[in-house]
Structures are given as C-alpha cells and as structure tokens.
C-alpha cells in the first residue's frame, strides 16, 4: 500500500497507478506518477482524483508521437491508454467501427481487413523501442509492440487510435479520404474534471449536437482524454497502382501534380519527394479501385505525367512519411502555391545553410525534414524565415483570381511537428495561429485549471 | 405544411427575457437600435414594418412562427460585425438567416431580437481551381458555387435538395447533406475555412483554407453548430473534380425489404455509389400524381443508384449494381443513358416532399438515421406503427447512409389528427434512437428537436457540448433557444464583453 497520499488516491481510482519510472517521461518531462486505466470508468475516476490533487497530466498511447509538440509546461501524471484496447464493435455492414483509444492502428487494420475494410489513414511510422507498454504489470495488447511499417509505409507500428486522432495525422491518402477529423463520427472523452461525455454517434450521417470529435481531433490531449472513438470505414481497394515520374524543377513539378490531382482519374494520393535541393523532384500518384480499372487509369496517368513516367505495383521507397528523427516541419498551403512554397523552402534553407528533404502531398501538406545533427540555431532560422515568407504572402503561384484582399490573412503555415530538445527550446513550434483568442476560450472552458498537457499545443495552450 | 401554432405578433413573444429588454421609459431597446442599424445597413437594409417583419417569421419549418423585432440585411462582413456589436452592447439576442429553407427552425427569429439576413451577401469572391478552393459569401446559393466552378471542371459536392435556393451560409450552420453525401461527404468535409463574426462582434478567420492550420479545428466544430456560435461571413469551400462519368440506375422492387437487401448487397460488394435513394409505394404514388415520373407501376419500392467517377470503374460498378439488384428481386431496372434521362429518373425523387400535397392536406417531414443494416427492421416497425394508428407514412430516404425521411401524413384541420401525427413522428425518432441511430441526419435540431436531445445524449454530454457554446458566446445572445433543451450558465462573462469599447461604440474601431 503506498504511503504517498496522492498516489494512494490515484491507486484507489485506478489500481495500476504507480510512481513513474524512467520510461514514462513525456517529451523530456518526467512525471511523478503514471497510470494505465483499464476502462472509461477507471479513466474518469483517475482524472477526478488528479483534479482533486491539482495534478497536471499528459495522455499517451503507444508513444510513437510522444515527442511531437512542445514539452508540457507541467506534468505530474502520465496516463497511458494502452489498456483501453478493445475493438468494441465492428459493424461491417454499416462500414463503422467503435474502438477504445488504446487499440493500435495496426491491430485495428488487421481486424478490419478480415472483412475487406479499412480506416483510411496513413499513420507515420513508430519509433522502435519507444514507449514502455502499459504502466504496471501485464503484457501489452496484441499488435501494440514493436515498430515498423507495412510495405507502403501506411500502418505504424505502435501508433494507437487515440494518438492518431489526438494528433490529427494523415499521410498521402489525405487527398481522397481526408484526415482523422473527416473519418471520426463519434467520440467518448473524459474531461479534465473526470466527466465522461459523448458526442456524435455510430451512424455516419448525424447532425445532432456539436461535433466534439472535430474539436478533439488534433487537440494534442489539451482538452481531455479521448477514451473511445467511432470511425467511418472504407472498403479496401481490390487493386492499387503507383505511377511515378521525375522532374528537374519546381515549375514542371507543379504542373504535373496539378494535372494529376485535377484529373478525372480520381487519384487517392499525389505525392512529391526530394531528398535535397540539388536532386530532381519525384512525383508519385496512387490509384485505387477495381484492378482492371486501376490498370486502365494508370496507363492514362502515365500519359499525363509525361514520357518518363513508370507504373509500379507497390509504393516507391520514398513514399509516405519521412523517418522519425531530427526535425519535421509540416507546411500546409493552397495547392496552387506548390512551386512558390518549394521556392520559399529553398530560399529559407539556403539562408540557414541547410538542405532539408521534402516529402508530402501535392494536395497541400508537405513536410521538410532535417537531420538530428543540424545546428539548432540554423533549424530555428529556417523555420522563422519560412514563416515570414508565408506572412508576406509568398505562397504564390496562385492565380490572380485567388489573390483577394478578402481572403484569410495567410494561405500557408509552417508547424514544427517534432524537433530535438535544443531546437524546441528556442522556437515556437506552432507559429502564428488564427483565432487564438477563441482557442484559448475553448481551452479555458474544457480545462479551466490548465492541467491537460499544458503548453504542448499551439499558442502555448 | 400549414401552420398550427399560429404566428406570434410583433413583440408579444411572451418570453421571460422580454421585460428585461425594455428600458424604463417603456420604449423597447430594439427601437433604440433602429437609427444605428440604419446607419450601418442603410435605409433599405433595415425592416421595421410589422407586416414585412412577418414575412420572416419562419423558415422551412412552418409550424413554428415568431416575428422578429427587427430585421437587418447587411451587405458586408463589416456590417454584420457592426450589427452584432450593437446587439451585444444592448444585450439583445440575434439570429442569422440565409435563404430560410432550413427544416428544423434553426433560423426561427427571436421575438425580442434582431434577425440578420445574409441574402445580400452574394459575392463569389474567388475560384482557385488548382487549389480546388472557392471563397464565397454566405448568401451565395449552394448551386451557384457549382455553376461558377463548372467551367473549370469542378463542382461543390454537398447538394441538399433545396440547392437552387439554399445558401452556403445556411449549409455551414446546418452541416447540410444531400443525396450524394454517401460518397462525397457532408458540408463539414468541404468547408476548409470560415470568416465569422463572433457573438461579441469581432471579425475573425477560423482555418486558412488549407485544412491543416495550426490549432484546434474550430472550422469543423463551428460547422453544424446551427448558428449558435457566431455568424459566417465568408466560406472557403473545397471544390471537387467533375467525374468523368455518371451513371444512374432505377430499380423497382416488390417490397422495401427487397430494396433494402439490394442496398446491403451493393455496400457489401465494396461499391460506394454517389447516392442510393429509396422511395416506398406511397411516396411513388404521390410523386406519380405530382410529376408523372413514370416509375415502375405497382412497385412496392423504387431504388435509385447513382455512380460517378472514372469511366472504366463506373461502367464495371454499374454492371455489378444491376446484377445485385436483379439478384435481390428487382422487377424492373432502367438505366439512364444521358444527363437528360438521369434528370428524368431524379424528377420523382426530387419532387417527393412537395408531392405529398397531392395526397395529404399536411405532412411532417421526419429526419431520423439508423445504421444501414437496421433499415429493414425499422421500416417494418414504422409500417406497424402506421397500421396501428391509421396514420399514413410515406418513406423517402437516403438508403445508403440509413437516413430516413418518413413523411407523416395528416389532416391539419383536425387538432386530434395533428397531435396524433406528432406523436407518431416522435415515436419514429424513438425507434431510430433505440436502433443506435440519430434524431437528425441533415435537417438539424433547431427548435424542432431540442426536446429530443436528452433522449440521445445525457446531461454530461449536453453540458460538455455547451462548453463550446460558452467559449464562443458566454452571454448566450447568438441564436438562443436552439439545439439545446436547457441553456448552460457559462459562469462569469469576461469583462471585455460586458460593454463595447468607447471607440467601438463610436464606430471608430473594430473589436477583435
């Protein structure tokens, strides 16, 4: 029986509560306690106990993205969701699944594949060895251990459903299927004070009440603990094909990806990749569907991409997420601005003496990745230069009709998803945030004590 | 549908807040606002005449009627912001209204409040086909976006059946769906950024059009909030590539059960049609009477399946759908060969609601959702309820996503019949909830269904949703009385919102 009264209270709420160990730190911040609730009820009791003792907490899943975002300003308790590991309901006929947050994306993919279905999200690869598994004794849930990716890099090793939703990540196929916020149709959350609340439901079409799933998607655990989620599913495609080509410069790349993304061939993804400034730009298009139809479309797509285009059955090696080391900057932009965004990246990188690899979706989200060895000051200078270019409106390439004084203040953003500690220390990872005042008001309502992952999110939330 | 509650005359709303909003001199606060509103919106942008005000007393849900105290018709976002600032300063509620086609009373005016009509904000500001985006003002009609995008090879996917007149601003408020959302998604999937006027009168952007702006997804949370979090003044929508091919099949079945089996078989085969619509015998009969759509005679159910996409895939899927319908017992299958024939097939479906007037003096349009796999059981139960009560129910529904639109037919000259119809309509919602569904798939909660919210959500759920309301609108002035059966007290209203800044009040500065 623990003598620490706080731990005693936590353990009364959630038997796996314990003193934190070395592996429990959250983005470099070591908590005093760790717990792994096994039910929504336990999670609720745990958060209520944490509230009673004014503990700040961070929620984690498999830990594959634990290093994302800013380190928490305060973290007394690490709560992992790995014991919330049940696929509660898979209504195959309705293309809907209800899962607990701690189910790994890989396990979920396996379950859904049995009926030819999928949760159509490409999750970044996990990091081998990161994450201790559930706090306390007992084996981890099936599929939660280990890292690595499938052939097309689409399924992360240890990423969980909850972590995927909380970070709002999506890979190449965001072009067709969107991001977690587009696929989540219901959530059960535990608020900072322990209140359990539900929004949405388990039917795809539903407009009853506010859609808290959208609000919690990408909220980095700053509004509450996501305990369960219901997702809309898609059939697994019977056939896939990748068509790739290389271009010497950003202009020709811009034209090719615009032609591909704007074609009637319904691509599921249009990706670009360039390992360094001097290298040619690789472009790849994913086509999914009926095998024969895919073959026909691939042939037409090859024609669109030009003489050097090649069709492959599998993903090219550079497809998908860059490896998870060093610094990763997410650049979101209006798709027409691609050539200029690439030019802005090049200019900012040249000025900082860096040469980032660039990978991502021509649909408007690309990633610049920098090796862990890069000079932290140079990385910070790169991101800052990029942001000032975007603030000046240098995300051009847009047609004159879209350059309107009435539009949003910026049409592009640069967010540092993760970076080594000496970079995170000298840079606002999130950059300027639209409507920050409203976001702070939302945070104040959901977490008035600012105990849920404080400081981890945009605008210091 | 004829009115059965009667409109409430000007300023006799009879709500508790009424007295609070009258000044000591007995002159209403609203009357004090008129000169300033006229200054903001111009002489022709302010409606005070009681007879004219009554033309705004309801939206598409005509059973609820309240004349607003004042109507304003701003032309710009800045004017909307200025109007809202005046309301906020005077503690007067305000309601936004687009084209007034909503079916849940979301734009029902407040008797002591200002109705802000966005119908004059009709600019399509920009179309960026390469980025697949357009920026439009809230009064632009849904169809106008597609019309403007068509020359570039694009369209705006959400297509509520009122798309010729309904406004994009209203679509955002209601998260409107439509027949084709089975494949293409709802409004929320096609809104990438919003400029809004906050309930305090500030003008701000939620999202930046990229769909990946840093911070909370307030664009997503705002969409579908039924006008309770602020007023939309600009919308960045996603445009979708016009499909290479569209095909449309019409299949007649003996029963809705057989039609339902065909739907399950299509979805089970991994095919995602753009739309799967079903009508039962009574709905077909009404449509036939109204528009002579020549659907298969004597069919117990008619299924419309539309597929779109690359030609090769559409051809294959169409053949597969035809085969699956045949196996499910289709008595007749027709396939549209061109857009004109496709339009003919859709005529009956699109006229279905209005066609009820041919077979019934009045009807209630219901909007429940059930898991697709429960469709058969729920339809049987509705038929049973109909038989037990002797009240006819015609069924028109988006079968692909389990969204039912039972039309409860009744004679509104009889109060007993009206009450019985309402009871049956409510029983259908109970049925949807008990099958794990929803009380509304696309029409919204509004005033019509707020009383059903506690059947679907617990107190903690509703309370938690209202935290969002409190973050945006702590004073509770923005479309009050909608969505939630009981308003939540938001605690202390931040000092900054208690009154306007002197410069703001003088019209010299904007409050952000």
Q: Between chains, do B241 and A263 touch, taking CB under 8 Å as contact?
A: yes
SS3 B477: coil
DSSP A122: P
Interface mutation vs chain B, best among A438, A447, A453, most B CBs within 10 Å:
A438
Q: A397: pLDDT confidence band, cut at 50, 70 and 90?
A: very low
CB pairs below 8 Å between A and B: how many? 308
Average per-residue pLDDT in chain A? 90
ipTM for the whole complex: 0.94
Q: Please report which helix (H) or strand (E) contains residue A149, including its range.
A: none
DSSP label at A176? H
Residues 6 or more apart whose Cβ sits within 8 Å of residue B379? B256, B257, B260, B280, B395, B404
| Spatial contact of B112 and B480, defined as CB atoms under 8 Å apart | no
Closest Cβ–Cβ partner in B127, B217, B224 for A181: B217
| Interface contact B7, partner A, CB < 8 A | no
Q: Which residue of B has its CA nearest to A444?
A: B471
Beta carbons within 10 angstroms of residue B255's beta carbon: 17
Nearest Cα to Cα of residue A231 among A320, A126, A121: A121
Q: Which of B181, B313, B464 sits opposite A205 (nearest CB)?
A: B181
> In this complex, do A434 and B206 lie within 8 Å of one another by their Cβ atoms?
yes
Pick from B61, B60, B56: which is nearest to B8 by CA? B56
Work out the pLDDT band at A324, boundaries 50, 70, 90: confident
- Which chain B residues are closer than 8 Å to A334 by Cβ? 128, 131, 133, 209-210
> Bigger pLDDT: A394 or A308?
A308
Contact A408 B309 (CB under 8 A): no
Q: Which residue of A has its CA nearest to B172?
A: A207
* Interatomic CA distance for residues A138 and A80, integer angstroms: 14
DSSP string, B175-235: T---TTHHHH--GGGGEEEEEEE-TTS-EEEES-SSS--SS--HHHHHTTSTTSS-EEEEE
Give the DSSP H or E segment for B27.
none
Q: Which bin fits B233, alpha (ψ -120 to 50), beta or left (φ > 0)?
A: alpha
Q: Chain A: residue nearest B175 by CA? A: A207
> B-chain residues within 8 Å CB-CB of A441?
471-472
Q: In this predicted structure, what is the pLDDT of residue A128?
A: 40
CB B497 within 8 A of CB B508: no
A-chain CB neighbours of B312 within 8 Å are 290, 292-293, 296-297
DSSP string, A277-346: TTSPEEEEEEEEESHHHHHHHHHHHHHHH-TT-EEESS--TT-SPPPSSSEEEEEEE-GGGHHHHHHHHH
Contact at 8 Å (CB) between B97 and B139?
A: no
pLDDT means per 10 residues, chain B with 512 residues, are 31 39 57 96 97 96 95 98 97 97 96 97 94 96 98 97 95 94 96 98 95 97 98 98 96 94 92 96 93 91 96 93 97 94 92 90 94 91 96 94 95 94 96 97 96 97 97 97 90 45 42 36
* Residue count of chain B: 512
Least confident of A44-53, A347-356, A380-389, B5-14: B5-14
CB contact under 8 A, B130 and A206: no
Structure tokens at B399: 């079968």
Average pLDDT over residues A98-121: 97
Q: Which residue among A258, A406, A431 places its CB closest to the CB of B130?
A: A258
For residue B461, the chain A residues in CB contact (below 8 A) are 197-199, 209
What percentage of chain A has pLDDT greater than the value 70? 90
Let me know if B47 is exposed, middle or buried by CB neighbors in 10 A (0-12, 13-18, 19+).
Answer: buried
Q: Which residue out of B174, B214, B221, B431 would a mutagenesis test of the A interface target, given it has the greatest number of A Cβ atoms within 10 Å?
A: B214
DSSP string, B80-105: HHHHHHHHHHHT--EEEESSS--SS-
Contact B449 A208 (CB under 8 A): yes
- Hey, are the CB atoms on B209 and A407 less than 8 Å from each other? yes
What are the residues whose beta carbons fall under 8 Å from the beta carbon of B264, sequence distance 6 or more?
A93, B372, B373
Residue A247 confidence (pLDDT): 95
Question: What's the confidence (pLDDT) of residue B312?
Answer: 87
Which residues are paired to B279 by β-bridges?
A: B302, B396
Is B218 in contact with A442 (Cβ distance < 8 A)? yes
Provide, as residue numbers in chain A, all residues whose Cβ is less than 8 Å from the Cβ of B467.
442, 445-446
d(CA A365, CA B180): 27
Q: Give φ, ψ of A181 to 5 degrees.
A: -65, -25
Tokens of B417: 């019949």
pTM: 0.92
Token digits of residue A251: 């202009």
| For chain B, percent of residues with pLDDT exceeding 90 | 84
Among chain B residues, the shortest Cα distance to A196 is held by B460
Q: Give which of A337, A333, A436, A69 is closest to B206, Cα–Cα.
A: A436
Interface-testing mutation among B215, B454, B483, B511, with chain A (most A C-beta atoms within 10 A): B215
Cβ neighbour number for residue B296 with a 10 Å cutoff: 18
- The whole-angstrom separation of Cα B262 and Cα B372 is 12
- Kindly write down the DSSP assignment for every residue of B363-415, as one continuous string: EEE--EE--GGGHHHHHHHHHHHHHHHT--EEEEEEGGGTEEEEEEEE-TT-H
Tens digits of per-residue pLDDT, A215-228? 999 999 999 999 99
A328 min Cα distance to partner chain B (Å): 15
What element of type H or E holds A59?
Answer: strand A57-60
Residues 33-62 of B with CB under 8 A from A: none
Residue of A nearest to B130 (CA): A336
Instruction: Point out the least confidently predicted range of A139-153, A290-304, B231-245.
Output: A139-153
User: Which positions in chain B touch A430 (Cβ < 8 Å)?
Assistant: 214-215
User: What's the first-to-final CA gap in chain B, in angstroms?
Assistant: 43
Nearest by CB to residue A203, choosing from B135, B175, B371, is B371
Token pair of B502 as six digits = 């002197």
Q: Are the C-beta atoms of B367 and B443 separated by less than 8 Å?
A: yes
Q: Is the dihedral of CA B289, B294, B295, B300 positive or negative?
A: positive
For residue A372, what are its two tokens?
Answer: 């862990």
Interchain pair A262, B153: CB under 8 A? yes
pLDDT tens sequence across B364-415? 999 999 999 899 899 999 999 999 999 999 999 999 999 999 999 999 999 9
CB proximity under 8 Å: B 248-287 to A? 264, 267-268, 270-272
Q: Identify the pLDDT of residue B323.
A: 97
pLDDT value of residue B414: 94
Bridge partners, residue B455, by sequence: none
Residue of A nearest to B227 (CA): A210
Query: Residues 114 to 173 of B: which have CB under 8 A from any A CB?
Result: 125-133, 135, 153
Could B210 and A413 be called an inter-chain contact, meaning their C-beta atoms sit closer than 8 Å? yes
User: pLDDT value at position B478?
Assistant: 98
Please report the pLDDT score of residue B354 as a whole number: 86
Q: Per residue in B482-512, is it b (16+ CB within 10 Å) or e — as a string? A: bbbeeeeebeeeeeebeebeeebeeeeeebe
């Amino acid at each position: 029986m623990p003598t620490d009264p706080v731990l005693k209270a936590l353990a009364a709420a959630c038997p796996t509560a314990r003193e934190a160990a070395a592996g429990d730190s959250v983005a470099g911040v070591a908590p005093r306690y760790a717990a792994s609730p096994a039910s929504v009820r336990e999670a609720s009791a745990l958060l209520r106990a944490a509230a009673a003792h004014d503990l700040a907490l961070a929620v984690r899943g498999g830990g594959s993205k634990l290093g994302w975002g800013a380190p928490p300003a305060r973290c007394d308790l690490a709560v992992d969701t790995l014991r919330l590991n049940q696929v509660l309901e898979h209504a195959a006929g309705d293309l809907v699944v209800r899962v607990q947050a701690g189910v790994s994306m890989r396990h979920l993919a396996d379950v859904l594949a049995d009926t030819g279905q999928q949760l159509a999200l490409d999750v970044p690869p996990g990091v081998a060895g990161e994450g201790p598994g559930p706090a306390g004794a007992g084996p981890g849930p099936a599929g939660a251990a280990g890292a690595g990716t499938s052939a097309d890099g689409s399924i992360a090793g240890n990423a969980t459903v909850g972590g995927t939703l909380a970070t709002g990540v999506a890979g190449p196929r965001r072009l067709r299927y969107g991001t977690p916020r587009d696929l989540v149709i219901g959530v059960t959350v535990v608020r900072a004070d322990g209140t359990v609340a539900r929004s949405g439901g388990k039917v795809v079409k539903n407009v009853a009440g506010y859609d808290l799933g959208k609000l919690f998607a990408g909220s980095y655990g700053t509004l509450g603990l996501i305990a369960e989620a219901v997702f809309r599913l898609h059939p697994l495609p019977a056939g896939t094909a990748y068509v790739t080509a290389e271009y010497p410069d950003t202009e020709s790349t811009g034209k090719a990806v615009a032609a591909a993304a704007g074609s009637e061939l319904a691509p599921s993804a249009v990706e670009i990749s360039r390992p360094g400034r001097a290298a040619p730009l690789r472009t790849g298009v994913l086509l999914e569907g009926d095998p024969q139809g895919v073959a026909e479309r691939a042939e037409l797509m090859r024609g669109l991409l030009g003489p050097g285009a090649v069709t492959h059955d599998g993903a090219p090696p550079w497809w998908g997420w860059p490896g998870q080391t060093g610094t990763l900057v997410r650049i979101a932009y209006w798709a027409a601005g691609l050539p200029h965004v690439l030019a802005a990246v090049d200019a900012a990188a040249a000025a900082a003496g860096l040469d980032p690899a660039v990978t991502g979706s021509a649909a408007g989200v690309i990633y610049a990745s920098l090796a862990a060895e890069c000079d932290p000051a140079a990385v910070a200078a790169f991101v800052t230069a990029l942001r000032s270019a975007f603030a000046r409106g240098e995300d051009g390439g847009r047609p004159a009709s879209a350059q309107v004084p009435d539009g949003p203040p910026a049409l592009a953003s640069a967010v540092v998803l993760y970076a080594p500690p000496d970079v995170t220390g000298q840079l606002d990872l999130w950059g300027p945030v639209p409507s920050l005042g409203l976001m702070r008001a939302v945070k104040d309502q959901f977490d008035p004590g600012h105990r849920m992952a404080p400081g981890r999110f945009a605008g210091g939330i | 549908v004829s009115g059965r509650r009667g409109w409430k005359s000007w300023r006799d709303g009879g709500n508790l807040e009424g007295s609070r909003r009258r000044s000591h001199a007995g002159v209403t606060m609203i009357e004090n606002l008129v000169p300033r509103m006229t200054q903001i919106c111009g002489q022709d942008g302010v409606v005070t005449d009681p007879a004219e005000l009554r033309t705004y007393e309801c939206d598409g849900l005509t059973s609820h009627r309240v004349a607003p105290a004042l109507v304003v018709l701003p032309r710009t976002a800045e004017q909307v912001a200025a109007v809202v600032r005046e309301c906020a300063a005077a503690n007067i509620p305000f309601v936004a209204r687009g084209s007034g086609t909503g079916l849940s009373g979301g734009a029902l005016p407040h008797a002591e409040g200002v109705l802000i009509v966005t119908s004059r904000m009709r600019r399509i500001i920009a179309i960026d086909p390469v980025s697949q985006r357009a920026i439009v003002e809230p009064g632009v009609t849904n169809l106008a976006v597609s019309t403007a995008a068509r020359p570039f090879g694009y369209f705006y996917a959400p297509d509520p059946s009122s798309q010729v007149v309904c406004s994009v601003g209203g679509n955002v408020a209601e998260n409107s769906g439509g027949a084709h959302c089975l494949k293409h998604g709802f409004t929320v999937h096609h809104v990438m950024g919003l400029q809004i006027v906050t309930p305090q009168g500030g003008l701000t952007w939620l999202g930046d059009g990229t769909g990946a702006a840093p911070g909370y997804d307030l664009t997503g949370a705002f969409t579908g909030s039924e006008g309770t979090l602020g007023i939309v003044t600009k919308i960045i929508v996603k445009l979708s590539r016009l499909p290479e091919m569209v095909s449309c099949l019409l299949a007649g079945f003996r029963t809705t059960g057989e039609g339902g089996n065909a739907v399950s078989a299509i979805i089970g085969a991994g095919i995602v049609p753009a739309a799967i619509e079903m009508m039962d015998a009574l709905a077909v009969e009404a449509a036939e009477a109204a528009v002579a759509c020549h659907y298969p005679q004597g069919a117990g159910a008619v299924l419309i399946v539309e597929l779109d996409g690359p030609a090769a895939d559409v051809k294959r899927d169409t053949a597969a759908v035809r085969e699956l319908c045949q196996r499910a017992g289709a008595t007749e299958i027709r396939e549209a060969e061109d857009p004109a024939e496709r339009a003919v097939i859709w005529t009956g479906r699109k006229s279905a609601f209005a066609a009820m007037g041919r077979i019934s003096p009045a009807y209630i349009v219901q909007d429940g959702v059930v898991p697709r796999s429960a469709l058969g059981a729920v339809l049987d139960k509705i038929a049973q309820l109909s038989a037990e009560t002797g009240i006819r129910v015609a069924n028109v529904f988006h079968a692909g996503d389990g969204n039912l639109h039972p039309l409860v037919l009744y004679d509104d000259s009889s109060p007993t019949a009206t009450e019985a119809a309402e009871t049956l309509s409510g029983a259908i919602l109970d049925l949807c909830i008990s099958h794990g569904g929803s009380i509304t798939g696309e029409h919204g909660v509004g005033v019509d269904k707020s009383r059903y919210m506690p059947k679907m959500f617990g107190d903690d759920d509703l309370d938690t949703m209202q935290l969002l309301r409190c973050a945006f609108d702590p004073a509770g002035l923005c479309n009050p009385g909608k969505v939630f059966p009981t308003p939540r007290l938001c605690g202390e209203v931040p000092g900054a919102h208690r009154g306007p800044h002197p410069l703001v009040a003088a019209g010299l500065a904007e409050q952000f």
